[in-house]
């Protein structure tokens, strides 16, 4: 039964990693399209579409963190991180719509940095070792 549980944990961890990677790429895309806002007429359309994708990726990250959490067996910390990203993404959308670049741009840089850190942490995470395995020798 432990093999099935390990496989489920591995799938959850993989889904979490993919969600964080998607969020990080979406935020990076937003930085690129922000530069296009200054030089191209298509920049606004791309930045607006990217904002929707980035917000959706933040919601997907929350879902992945919840699915990866095991009640009574795992830390709920990833859910806290994912929820924090969703709050930051919400603030980012509000500041963008309100045209407040003095806060919108630094918050975007902060979000990208935090997302890269979360991605690095998720990629370096491993499944917990199970004690009492059949292959252990005394």
pLDDT in tens, the chain (138 residues): 455 557 777 888 889 999 999 999 999 999 999 999 888 888 999 999 999 999 999 999 999 999 888 765 667 888 999 999 999 999 999 999 999 999 999 999 999 999 999 999 989 976 555 444 454 444
CB atoms within 10 A of CB 4: 8
Cβ pair 40, 124 in contact under 8 A: no
CB atoms within 10 A of CB 82: 25
Rounded CA gap, 90 and 92, in Å?
A: 5
pLDDT at 46: 94
pLDDT at 71: 61
């Amino acid at each position: 039964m432990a093999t099935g549980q390990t496989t489920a944990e591995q799938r959850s961890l993989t889904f979490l990693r993919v969600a964080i990677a998607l969020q990080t790429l979406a935020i990076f895309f937003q930085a690129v399209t922000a530069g296009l806002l200054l030089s191209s007429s298509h920049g606004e359309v791309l930045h607006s579409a990217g904002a929707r994708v980035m917000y959706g990726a933040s919601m997907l990250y929350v879902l992945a963190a919840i699915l990866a959490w095991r009640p009574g067996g795992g830390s709920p910390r990833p859910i806290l991180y994912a929820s924090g990203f969703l709050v930051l993404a919400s603030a980012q959308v509000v500041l963008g719509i309100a045209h407040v670049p003095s806060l919108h741009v630094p918050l975007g840089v902060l979000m990208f940095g935090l997302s890269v850190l979360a991605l690095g942490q998720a990629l370096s995470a491993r499944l917990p070792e199970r004690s009492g395995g059949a292959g252990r020798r005394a």
